[in-house]
Amino acid sequence: MFESFCQNLQGTRPFITVEITPPHGASMEPTLQAIEAAGLSQKVSGFSVTDNPLARLKMSAILSAIRVQQRFGKPVIATMSMRDRNKLSLQSSLLGANDFDIRLILALTGDPAKFSDHPEVKGVLERDITLLLSIIYRLNNGFDYSGQALDPRPKPIYPFAVSNAYAKDMKHLMKRMVKKLDYGARAIITQPVFDLENARELLAIFEEARSKSIRETAKEAQLILGQFPIIRARTATFIDDKVPGISVPKAIIDEMNLATMDGAEKERDVGFALSKRIFDEIMALHPKVHLMTHNRFELCAQLIGSE
């Protein structure tokens, strides 16, 4: 399953993953039923599961990933945040996940603990994501981080990393990509992209990063372009103003603001049409996309259509 997933990622056919946010509660069942109702599992290559985004309590990403993968038989990328774990916990979680065949791991630093809805939460950051990538590299070679042999050794783990979609100095993004590829990342997922010019620039700097990486696996590494459909004008403005690493073109913001003058239904219709156009253009340019929709699975299915 995982080998074919990676082959699909490296091929030319459409490759689409959808992000799932686990519940603030003790059951994945409503989320799984919503995915089923949208018929989404037949339209995608796999899923990803977030790990306490914004440092707010959700069900365990790894345990949620097990439920999703077992339910749909599609590979699931489990996010692991550096914010909440030391190197002992990271290794323990990876070994346990491996036994349940959760072997696609998205390495994240994690949103700062100060954003948490739980008072006095403290982050646990021994190092940036290169620590997690280093651990995965060693596990894949049959050793723990201290150099002791593992018996039995884990099944192969496939590490993923993330990147901002925009920066004033795009060369800085390229250097960060090189670092992640050097530490073994098999793919890099970007923050949401909202225009083709931005997408082309990301693809260009990713190719440069691959050429500069010292790691042999970088030759087969892929860039996955993030997509976030915007159906509310205030969302477009908020993302552009407040979310680092993302740029929403002024033309989109202006068109969404004009649509609000004709009511919420018009606003949604215009937003969906814009999002669908961007999605189709990105898929035509580079058919490797990661959809982030805050669990709006029906919206995902509508965007993908008959891909």
Task: Dump pLDDT digits (tens) for 57-73.
Answer: 999 999 999 999 999 99
Whether cis (ω within 30° of 0) applies to the bond prior to 152 is: yes
Q: Tell me the H-state helices in 52-125.
A: 61-72, 87-99
The answer to whether the CB of 29 falls within 8 A of the CB of 58 is no
Q: Which two tokens stand for residue 227?
A: 């997509």
| pLDDT tens readout for residues 2-39 | 888 988 898 889 999 999 999 999 999 999 999 999 99
The fold of 2-304 is TIM Barrel (3.20.20)
pLDDT at position 1 is: 84
Q: Which two tokens stand for residue 3?
A: 């080998």
Listed in sequence order, the residues at least 6 apart from 125 whose beta carbon sits closer than 8 Å to its beta carbon are 82, 83, 109
pLDDT at position 186 is: 95
The answer to whether the CB of 160 falls within 8 A of the CB of 188 is yes
Listed in sequence order, the residues at least 6 apart from 35 whose beta carbon sits closer than 8 Å to its beta carbon are 20, 41, 68, 72, 297
Q: Which two tokens stand for residue 236?
A: 């477009």
Question: What is the chain's mean pLDDT, rounded?
Answer: 94
Average pLDDT rounded to a whole number, residues 262-271: 95
The number of residues making up the chain comes to 307
Q: Count other Cβ atoms within 10 Å, centred on residue 219.
A: 10
Q: What is the CA 279 to chain-centroid distance, rounded?
A: 16
Listed in sequence order, the residues at least 6 apart from 107 whose beta carbon sits closer than 8 Å to its beta carbon are 80, 82, 129, 132, 133, 136, 159, 160, 161, 162, 185
Share of the chain above pLDDT 90, in %: 85
> 205-212: long-range contacts at Cβ-Cβ below 8 A with a sequence spacing of 24 or more?
205/170, 205/171, 205/173, 205/174, 205/177, 206/174, 206/177, 208/174, 209/174, 209/175, 209/177, 209/178, 209/181, 210/181, 212/174, 212/178
CA distances, 240 to each of 165, 252, 261, 267 (Å): 12, 11, 21, 18
Distance CA 127, CA 132 (A): 9
pTM for the full predicted model: 0.95
Q: Is 177 helix (H, G, I), strand (E, B) or coil?
A: helix
pLDDT at position 120 is: 78
Nearest to 251 by CA among 205, 196, 288: 196
